[in-house]
Amino acid sequence: ALQKKSVQRIGTSCEQVMVGQRIKFIEDNVAEFDVSSSMEKRINDLDAKTISLAENARMMSDADYDTLLHIVEAEAGTEDVKGRVLVANVIMNRVKNKEFPDTVTEVVWQNTDGVPQFSPTYDGRINEVTVTDETKEAVKQALEGVDYSEGALFFIQKSEAEAQNVSWFEKDLKRLFKYGVHEFYTYPDSGQES
């Protein structure tokens, strides 16, 4: 029998999303299969890729994954899958940006000078929405690397926003594009960040 390193995923809370899954490595004895050498190489390559992805994935807690699903549903539940991916992209862009907290939950619930960063955390919608299959698919795509955001760190639905928020976006941020009901922004070019 061959010694083989394999991956076993534990728990299903993340619906086949590599990021966020608890994993463990198992050394097991695998019976030898009579397969062609090219097929054997493909199997070994796939195993190696899976193990590499698992080792390099940004681990996400179940709470962070759940928060991401709920904020995307609350902010973009009327949008198509791309519109929902974009909201997830903004959250993940913030997690990776030094200006913002390091976890999804902290990013979503961040409160700056008494002002919530995401209105569903203020008005309670984040806890009232029912996460749909479209949102689960959008979050899965975002965590697998689908990114339409052009680096956006902010989005706003101007028709629903307060006037002072709209003016801050227009005065202090760089507008990137509009998709669906949301307009996406980032900080002005480097050196201008505050």
The pLDDT tens digits of the residues spanning 116-129 come to: 899 999 999 999 99
The answer on pLDDT for 194 being more than 90 is no
55: its two tokens: 């080792």
Domain 62-186 in CATH 1.10.10.2520: yes
Beta bridge partners of 182: 179
Tell me if residue 99 falls in helix, strand or coil: coil
pLDDT tens digits for range 153-182: 999 888 877 777 777 788 889 999 999 999
| Helix (DSSP H) and strand (DSSP E) numbers for the chain | 8, 7
Q: Which band of pLDDT confidence, cut at 50, 70 and 90, is reported for residue 14? A: very low
Domain ranges of the chain: 2-56, 62-186
pTM of the model: 0.68
Whether the pLDDT of residue 17 is over 60: the answer is no
Q: Which residues contact 10 (CB under 8 A, 6 or more apart)?
A: 21, 22, 23, 24
H-assigned helices in the chain? 37-56, 62-76, 81-96, 104-108, 119-123, 125-128, 133-143, 163-172
Q: What is the mean pLDDT of the chain?
A: 80
Dihedral (CA of 2, 56, 110, 16) sign: negative
